[in-house]
């Protein structure tokens, strides 16, 4: 059952984050931006195939000059939309994006300005806080996404204080092992799990932490649903299989997506999802979030309470706040 589309609108970025391969600007120099026409065609098909959520991602998605039109189009088809940004360009798009992004995430890697800017290798700390103020002035409630590493996990209390000050939600994003970057060590996993437990304005998928404790995906009994629940589309207008992070093959979208999904090649990847040798030990959050969407295994069951808590914050608490704010204006 398809749930999510990770739509890479660009591979380019304006930051150089130490834990992200998009920091290698030379590798992605000259790569295309996703075509708006292709985007509209693809998204219309995805809706018919049952996709409910679309993540407009990158690189830095706000480098795409038509990102607001993409968000507007997807929202018009009643899709749930999300964007994660370093906030450097948010002020340019804030008004155009207002009301079109359900899950707006601003990345903050440390409560300390010097450390955050050192991790990102660009001066963007103050942009995050300026963007929070702009977003809230437009009736938006962004989340702060904290990519937790072995060097920053003890900053959780200070990060928690920041979201409490602004009455937002902190998304705790455990760094995963990829391209030579180490994932969280056991000490960090234990600390993060214990600190986040029971705190209402923090979202940590407990399934992620259990998966890490168990050594990641097991190819003999896979938990990953990266092909059956997620479709990944590149700026080249290709479907990436089995996932972006372990791209093994791409299929040009030169026919209907439904036809592509019914092809023998696609069915092979569905059959093999989570079973390739490179899938062993995988903990890539992007694919386990939708993989744990239904309580079909212990990881999915472990994630339920955190999902309910986040749903309360986003769907109930913040909607009430918006309602009261409008009443005060009137």
pLDDT at 127: 98
What is the distance between the alpha carbons of residues 288 and 299, in angstroms, rounded to a whole number? 9
What is the distance between the alpha carbons of residues 84 and 285, in angstroms, rounded to a whole number? 14
Most confident residue range from 22-26, 139-143, 156-160, 212-216: 156-160
- The structure's pTM equals 0.93
pLDDT at 181: 66
Query: Is pLDDT above 60 for 70?
Result: yes
What is the distance between the alpha carbons of residues 84 and 148, in angstroms, rounded to a whole number? 15
Instruction: Please calculate the CA angle 104-180-184 and round it to the nearest 5 degrees.
Output: 60
What's the total number of domains in the chain? 1
282-326 pLDDT per residue, tens: 999 999 999 998 888 898 998 888 888 787 777 666 666 655 555
Cis bond before residue 311 (omega within 30° of 0): no
pLDDT at 179: 59
Q: Which residues contact 304 (CB under 8 A, 6 or more apart)?
A: 295
Output the CA–CA distances (angstroms, integers) from residue 87 to 71, 104, 134, 187, in the order listed: 17, 10, 11, 31
Q: Average pLDDT for residues 17-28, to the nearest whole number?
A: 85
**Among 172, 149, 171, 300, CA closest to 224:** 300
Question: Any idea what the CATH number is for the domain that residue 274 is in?
Answer: 3.20.20.70
Q: Which residue range(s) make up the domain with 268?
A: 4-329
Of 14-18, 39-43, 117-121, 170-174, give the lowest mean pLDDT range.
14-18
């Amino acid at each position: 059952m398809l749930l999510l589309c990770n739509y890479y609108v660009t591979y380019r970025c304006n930051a150089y984050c130490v834990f992200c391969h998009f920091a290698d600007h030379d590798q992605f120099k000259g790569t295309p931006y996703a075509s708006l026409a292709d985007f509209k065609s693809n998204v219309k098909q995805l809706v018919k195939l049952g996709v409910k959520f679309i993540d407009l991602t990158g690189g830095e998605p706000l480098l795409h000059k038509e990102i607001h039109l993409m968000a507007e189009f997807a929202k018009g088809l009643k899709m749930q939309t999300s964007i994660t940004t370093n906030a450097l360009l948010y002020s340019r798009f804030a008004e155009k994006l207002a009301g079109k992004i359900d899950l707006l995430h601003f990345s903050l890697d440390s409560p300390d300005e010097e450390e955050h800017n050192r991790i990102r290798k660009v001066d963007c700390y103050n942009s995050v806080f300026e963007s929070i103020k702009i977003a809230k002035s437009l009736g938006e409630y962004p989340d702060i996404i904290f990519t937790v590493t072995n060097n920053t996990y003890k900053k959780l209390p200070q990060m928690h204080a920041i979201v409490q000050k602004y009455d937002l939600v902190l998304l705790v994003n455990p760094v995963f092992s990829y391209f030579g970057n180490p994932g969280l060590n056991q000490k960090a996993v234990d600390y993060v799990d214990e600190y986040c437990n029971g705190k209402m304005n923090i979202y940590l998928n407990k399934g992620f932490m259990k998966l890490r404790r168990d050594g990641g995906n097991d190819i003999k009994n896979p938990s990953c649903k990266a092909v059956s629940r997620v479709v990944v589309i590149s700026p080249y207008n290709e479907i990436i299989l089995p996932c972006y992070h372990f791209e093994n093959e791409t299929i040009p979208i030169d026919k209907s997506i439904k036809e592509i999904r019914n092809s023998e090649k696609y069915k092979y990847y569905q059959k093999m999802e989570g079973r390739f040798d490179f899938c062993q030990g995988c903990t890539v959050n992007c694919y386990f979030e939708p993989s744990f969407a239904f309580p079909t295994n212990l990881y999915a069951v472990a994630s339920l309470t955190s999902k309910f808590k986040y749903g309360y914050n986003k769907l109930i608490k913040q909607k009430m706040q918006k309602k009261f704010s409008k009443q005060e204006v009137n």
